[in-house]
């Protein structure tokens, strides 16, 4: 989907690429990016699902969006995503994926109406002493010095932030602010974390600073993101006969170069511990 100043180009169906019926796709990993690639190859690239192969080292799909029950550790989810209305590619993807509970609706339909009927809104963002709101809850409490430090970080090129920690670019003024309390708990940042990643988050989500106090800009899935997002994607791909290969570790990809062109000619891997080569 392509957006210009209007929606003239947004909903036009792409033409079938030349020779796509003679091509195959091998996708390493089965995280959200990999599964999305497979969906777009089918929907927009008009590639047959039988010609798409997903190679995953684990025993289940989802990458870091997995959700498993471990007999020793309990129920494990490696991470969650803070979602908001301007995830254009994600919503474009999920408008094409049927809901598992109501196949007449898309995952986007399901997600949209859930958040319409049950929106995210925190009356109190930070509490202490078993339920008391902090006195200045809802205020960012940023000093002029802290505001300048935020601007300085955003204006710093990424090339200058390699191996730089957050606590190396901010002073105690910043860390004592409610902004840091809200931001760090929302995105799981620690003072020792990457300043480069902090900068990226500031640039991506700065439009939501006004709702840090109540989280009203966030959107949530009905269940955990593995069950609400990954499982419907996998079901869609299996319905289109996409090949999933688990316990598969890609160890090497041999590439031929010709000028600026690169062509993968061989994929070396182990499948269930056995070496295998794809030509």
* DSSP H/E element including 93: helix 88-94
User: Would the pLDDT of 6 be above 90?
Assistant: no
**Residue 201 falls in the annotated catalytic set:** yes
Which pLDDT belongs to residue 1? 65
Return phi, psi of residue 59, to 5°.
-95, 5
The catalytically annotated residue of 26, 112, 201, 246 is 201
Structural domain boundaries enclosing 185: 127-211
Q: Determine, yes or no, domain membership for 191.
A: yes
Pairwise CA distance, residues 62 & 66, whole Å? 5
| Partner residues linked to 83 by β-bridges | 219
Pairwise CA distance, residues 130 & 236, whole Å? 46
Instruction: Please tell me the least confidently modeled range out of 60-74, 203-217, 232-246.
Output: 60-74
Q: Determine, yes or no, domain membership for 258.
A: no
Q: Determine, yes or no, domain membership for 35.
A: yes
Which pLDDT belongs to residue 3? 67
User: Would the pLDDT of 48 be above 70?
Assistant: yes
Confidence of residue 39 (pLDDT cuts 50, 70, 90): very high
Pairwise CA distance, residues 36 & 87, whole Å? 13
Pairwise CA distance, residues 244 & 221, whole Å? 25
In this structure, are strands 52-55 and 243-245 parallel, antiparallel, or unpaired?
parallel
Q: Determine, yes or no, domain membership for 178.
A: yes
Pairwise CA distance, residues 148 & 154, whole Å? 10
Q: Determine, yes or no, domain membership for 49.
A: yes
Which pLDDT belongs to residue 160? 97
CA distances from 125 to 18, 84, 120, 162, 216 (A): 54, 18, 12, 33, 11
Higher pLDDT, 246 or 66: 246
| Partner residues linked to 266 by β-bridges | 254
pLDDT tens, position by position, 51-102:
999 999 998 898 888 767 778 888 877 777 889 988 989 999 999 999 999 9
Structure tokens at 255: 């590439």
**Residue 82 falls in the annotated catalytic set:** yes
Q: What percent of the chain has pLDDT over 90?
A: 73
Q: Determine, yes or no, domain membership for 180.
A: yes
Asked if 189 and 235 sit in the same domain, the reply is: no
Pairwise CA distance, residues 21 & 18, whole Å? 8
Asked if 112 and 131 sit in the same domain, the reply is: no
Which pLDDT belongs to residue 12? 85
Q: Determine, yes or no, domain membership for 181.
A: yes
Asked if 113 and 24 sit in the same domain, the reply is: yes
pLDDT tens, position by position, 100-134:
999 999 999 999 999 999 999 999 999 889 889 99
* DSSP H/E element including 186: helix 178-187
DSSP 133-154: EPTTTT-----HHHHHHHHHHH
The catalytically annotated residue of 26, 57, 82, 268 is 82
| Partner residues linked to 278 by β-bridges | 267
User: Would the pLDDT of 11 be above 70?
Assistant: yes
CB atoms within 10 A of CB 190: 10
| C-alpha triplet 244, 49, 111: angle, nearest 5° | 80
Asked if 65 and 25 sit in the same domain, the reply is: yes
What is the value of pTM for the model shown? 0.86
Structure tokens at 245: 């290969």
Q: Determine, yes or no, domain membership for 34.
A: yes
* Mean pLDDT across the chain: 92
- Residue 1 DSSP code: -
Q: How many domains, the chain?
A: 2
Instruction: List Cβ neighbours of 249 (8 Å cut-off, separation of 6 or more).
Output: 57, 269, 270
Pairwise CA distance, residues 53 & 49, whole Å? 8
């Amino acid at each position: 989907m392509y957006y210009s100043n209007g929606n003239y180009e947004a909903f036009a169906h792409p033409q079938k690429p030349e020779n796509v019926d003679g091509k195959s796709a091998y996708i390493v990993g089965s995280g959200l990016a990999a599964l999305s690639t497979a969906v777009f190859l089918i929907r927009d690239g008009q590639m047959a699902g039988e010609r798409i192969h997903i190679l995953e080292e684990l025993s289940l799909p989802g990458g870091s969006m997995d959700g498993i029950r471990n007999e020793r550790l309990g129920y494990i989810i490696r991470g969650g995503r803070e979602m908001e209305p301007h995830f254009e590619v994600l919503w474009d993807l999920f408008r094409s994926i049927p809901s598992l509970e109501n196949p007449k609706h898309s995952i986007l339909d399901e997600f949209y109406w859930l958040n319409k009927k049950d929106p995210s809104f925190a009356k109190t963002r930070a509490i202490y002493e078993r339920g008391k709101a902090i006195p200045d809850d809802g205020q960012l409490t940023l000093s002029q010095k802290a505001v300048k430090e935020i601007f300085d970080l955003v204006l710093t090129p990424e090339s200058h932030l390699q191996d730089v920690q957050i606590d190396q670019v901010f002073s105690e003024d910043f860390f004592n602010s409610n902004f840091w309390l809200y931001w760090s708990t929302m995105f799981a940042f620690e003072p020792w974390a990457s300043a480069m990643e902090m900068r990226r988050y500031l640039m991506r989500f700065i439009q939501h600073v006004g709702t840090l106090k109540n989280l009203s800009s966030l959107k949530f899935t009905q269940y955990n993101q593995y069950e609400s997002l990954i499982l419907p994607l996998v079901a869609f791909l299996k319905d289109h006969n996409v090949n999933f290969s688990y316990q598969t570790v890609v160890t090497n990809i041999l590439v031929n170069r010709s000028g600026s062109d690169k062509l993968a000619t061989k994929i070396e891997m182990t499948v269930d511990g056995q070496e295998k080569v794809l030509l």
